[in-house]
Structure 1
Amino acid sequence: MRCYWEEEDTWFYFEVDAEGWVIRQVELEGPELTPIAAASLAEGQRACDTGRLDEYDSRFGITAELPISEWEGHAPEQPTSEEFEEVWGPARQQIASRPS
């Protein structure tokens, strides 16, 4: 799903599982849609298990910590999985290519 947060001029894209937990998340900021996060729950969990969560978070961000059923005050749009991938791929590549 996709939501816009006007106060921060940020688009949020979420891939969620059947229980409503965010498994991948992209955040694009400003009129240029600059990627500021492209996080994966599985990668974040592996980073936590290896003691590298802070490093992962500072580079890719962290996925939302509550299932979407507990969110309030959002009006999500429902992009297709292909549309999500079109945002995920370039955002992830741009963030990964930045110097650490």
Structure 2
Amino acid sequence: MTTWMRCWWDEEDVWFYFEVDADGWVTRQIELQGPALTPIAAASLAEWQQASDTNRLDEYDNRFGITAELPVSEWEGHHPEQLTSDEFEEVWDSARRQIVALSPGPLAEDR
């Protein structure tokens, strides 16, 4: 079962939004920084894997970031706030639009 959550990291003033699969792996991740909630990442594990397969990983990472490399069950010190799918999708859509607008390019993920 897919779940959605967010956590705040006060050291960097960043909100992390996660979509997590039934096995606890992050499938999509958004990072919003500062009081303006500026998107600094909006990464999809599926897109990241596709970029890796097509030798475009650096381009993808530089533009959209990466997802967490450990399953949620191995995280320490986070206090997630549960979200609905709709809440996550609203933030995802907004973050992706802003990131693409700031760094337009030919990645398939833009379409």
TM-score category of the 2 structures, normalised to the smaller one: over 0.9
Whether 1:13 aligns to 2:25 is: no
CA RMSD, Structure 1 to Structure 2 (Å) = 0.7
List runs of 5+ in structure 1 lacking aligned partners: none
Aligned length: 100
SS, match of residue 82 in structure 2: coil
The ranges of structure 1 where at least 4 consecutive aligned residues each deviate by more than 4 angstroms after the TM superposition are none
Contact 2:51 2:57 in 1 (8 A): yes
List runs of 5+ in structure 2 lacking aligned partners: 105-111
Structure 1 distance, partners of 2:97, 2:49, is 20
Please tell me the residue identity of whatever aligns with 1:90: S
Aligned counterpart, 2:95: 91
User: CA shift at 1:96, angstroms?
Assistant: 1.0
1:1-100 correspondence to structure 2 within 5 Å = 1-99=5-103
- Please report the TM-score for the alignment, with normalisation by the length of structure 1: 0.97
Structure 2 distance, partners of 1:99, 1:42, is 20
Structure 2 distance, partners of 1:94, 1:61, is 14
User: CA shift at 1:62, angstroms?
Assistant: 0.3
Structure 2 distance, partners of 1:33, 1:52, is 28
Structure 2 distance, partners of 1:10, 1:65, is 18
SS, match of residue 81 in structure 2: coil
User: CA shift at 1:53, angstroms?
Assistant: 0.6
User: CA shift at 1:99, angstroms?
Assistant: 2.8
